[in-house]
Chain A
Amino acid sequence: MHSRTATVIGYVLGFALLFVIWHLASQYLVSSVLFPSPFPVFERGWVLLEEGLLQESVWASMRRIIQGFLLGSAIGIPIGLAIGSFRPVRLLLEPWTEFFRFIPAVAMITVSVIWFGIGEESKIFLIAYTTVFVVVIATAAGVGAVGRDKIRAAQCLGANKLQVFALVALPATVPYILTGMRLAMANAFVTIVAAELVASNDGLGKMLWDARLFMQVEDIFVALISLGLLGFATDRVFRLLIRAFAGRFNPTM
């Protein structure tokens, strides 16, 4: 309880300090209309909120991230489990993962727009693409890292192969899967902004692009802060989940 209060106070002070430094920098270091102080940015953010425009952009981006992310995880987790559990599958699929993970999702934007148009599908495809390989690799590594004694203990308590998998390998891998998803989520933010900058009718990336066209510097900063806060919030959720599953929580019984 005490440490949680301390954490919250730390965050509040940390953010406050960031804004103070930002304000001072905008006043004394680079006083230019191109680098506004936080106050006009907050004012602008408030206006955009009242008009409902900010929520619209945030929701457009988050919806794509969540859909693509869930799709990518749903594909990546079983593949990762299979690669980690069965040697032939690993030998067969490892070249794929090793090949595709070096083709970043932003490089796939053009081809995905050609295939899927500039609607939702192309973004969901890109987010799923960027998610899937990270999740596959983390999941497979997790299966490989299950302690030998954990499996042996189950065997001499009478577990068959299926039980060893479902009751030992799988729960022991959950923290690795969540860690992979956490990394993938960071990639998803990169990818969605890039995709929306290039080809989109809405979302935070589009907002950034439009603001540049019309030289609305405050709008740019509102979009940037929104991205930071959204990323921060999702990452906290994952950290809580990982801590819950890795230590004390009981996901199976």
Chain B
Amino acid sequence: MVAFVELDGVGMTFRGRTGAYEAVRDFNLELSEGEFFCLLGTSGCGKTTVMNMLAGFDTPTAGQIRLEGKPVRGPGADRGVVFQGHDSLYDWLTARDNIAFGLRLRGMGARERRAVADRFLNMVGLTGQGGKHPSELSGGMKQRIQIARALANDPRMLLMDEPFGALDAMTRAVLQAELSRIWSENRKTVLFITHDIEEACALATRVGVMKRGPGGTLKAVVPIDLPFPRERTSDAFMASFRQVHELIHAEIHPHA
């Protein structure tokens, strides 16, 4: 059986004015359908680079990425992306029209579009806020719109690059709980990038820890076999946290 997503010896070497830089080397990972995989690593280890290749924004300079056995060539509607910042929202559209953007591309009628968009507005807890423009929304609300926009398009999988990185701790906890609830309901495959160990342990079915660059690669994968919603104060959660923490710690203080 082929895995849902395969990253097979993937590498990325950037060539610029300062010469070549091998950001990612020999990255191997298989994702099965419906899992929530968190990719964890220190800043600059190559997490975004991996995601950009899977999304199809960048082409690997080595190896191959396959989705359901087919090589990835360029971005497509089967992989929804939630970006690190919220510059990807369209300022000239309302929240509702942002969410319905993908549906509009497919030629869905205005009324049906509105109904779907309102359903996803409800799902991310923004009922009745659909008429506002991004400039009138808070940072947390904008990330909710991004998530709703990706989900409304019904992709096969979701790629999320530190979607809650810029939020305060409380908003982040609320959004983590919401995302976890939504995922429990629809069980879409998710690749979620973060550098927050607790976030990874709270959301993921598996956590992958990356080694620092140059030549960033997957160092270890830790399964988190705990039921949802997760009890962050439970002993089992603490044990997972400690396990991941030790892997990360070795990256931050390699000679300790």
Using a CB–CB distance below 8 Å, which chain A residues touch chain B? 147, 149-150, 152-159, 163, 167-168, 171-172, 174, 245-253
Contact = CB atoms under 8 A, between A and B. Distances in A.
Interface string B127-159: 000000101100000000000011001010000
B120 to A, nearest CB: 13
A247 B104 CA distance: 21
Interface of B: 55-57, 74-77, 79-81, 83, 85, 87-94, 97, 101-102, 104-106, 133, 135-136, 149-150, 153, 155
B95 to A, nearest CB: 11
B54 to A, nearest CB: 11
12 contacts: A150-B87, A150-B88, A153-B81, A154-B105, A156-B75, A156-B76, A158-B77, A158-B106, A163-B105, A171-B92, A172-B92, A253-B93
B91 A158 contact: no
Contacts of A152: 55, 57, 75, 81, 83, 88
A106 B88 CA distance: 43
Contacts of A150: 87-90
Contacts of A251: 92
Contact of A147 (B56, B88, B149): B88
A7 B136 CA distance: 22
A246 B55 CA distance: 29
A156 B80 contact: yes
Contacts of A172: 90-92
B81 A156 contact: yes
Interface centre among B83, B92, B105 (most CB of A within 10 A): B92
B92 A149 contact: no
B184 to A, nearest CB: 24
A246 B136 CA distance: 13
Q: List the 3 shortest-distance A-B pairs measured between CB atoms, nearest first.
A: A158-B77, A157-B102, A149-B88
A174 B92 contact: yes
Given A157-B149, A167-B104, 19 more contacts: A147-B87, A149-B88, A150-B89, A152-B57, A153-B81, A153-B83, A153-B89, A154-B101, A155-B57, A155-B76, A156-B75, A156-B155, A168-B90, A171-B90, A171-B92, A246-B91, A248-B133, A248-B136, A253-B104
Contact of A249 (B79, B88, B92, B104): B92
Contacts of B87: 147, 149-150
A153 B93 contact: no
Nearest to A153: B88
B148 to A, nearest CB: 12
A157 B153 contact: yes
A152 B75 CA distance: 8
